[in-house]
Amino acid sequence: MESKAKIFGHSIHQMLIVFPLGLLATSLAFDIAFLSTRDTTFAMVAYYMIFAGICGGLLAAVFGLIDWLAIPSHTRAKAIGGWHGAGNLIVVLLFLASCISRYPAPEAPSSGAITCSVIGVLLALVTGWLGGELVTRLGVGVDPGANLNSPSSLSGRPASDAQIPIAQNPGTHHA
């Protein structure tokens, strides 16, 4: 099923989601560095990364919703997409709770703020797997007819419009 929200032939949701996932996961690494060193710079960086990750997650969610609405009802993809989206909403809410609880003193996050971040990252691992299931197993966001010799998405040609493979030496075998 081809993505409904695309730019230059690629799914916008798939392009955007790497930013919030990276920011939110890395914020936890900075929290761990803060807990290990008590250097408040690490806590401040984690706070700003969480804020940016929430903003990026909400933006990516808009395009994910557009694609999810286009999935036919009563399919496995629709159900998995629903769990993926709902789980990611919970991830954003957990990090929002973490961010809000840090606001009065972002240089000294509470154990509750860090706990929300840990749970958020663990849940994001599950929702990320669900997103991978949608794309790699179910082909959501993949052009119809995609194959190993598909033309560039910038060519304007359909993915099924494969070029003739490079001639192989008839005496050799390729795995």
Percent of the chain clearing pLDDT 70 (strictly above):
91
Q: Is the pLDDT of residue 68 over 90?
A: yes
Q: Note the pLDDT tens digit of each residue in 7-22.
A: 877 789 989 999 999 9
**pTM for this entry:** 0.84
The chain-wide mean pLDDT, for the chain, equals: 89
Three-state SS sequence of the chain? CCCCCEECCEEHHHHHCHHHHHHHHHHHHHHHHHHHHCCHHHHHHHHHHHHHHHHHHHHHHHHHHHHHHCCCCCCHHHHHHHHHHHHHHHHHHHHHHHHHHHCCCCCCCCHHHHHHHHHHHHHHHHHHHHHHHHHHHCCCCCCCCCCCCCCCHHHCCCCCCCCCCCCCCCCCCCC
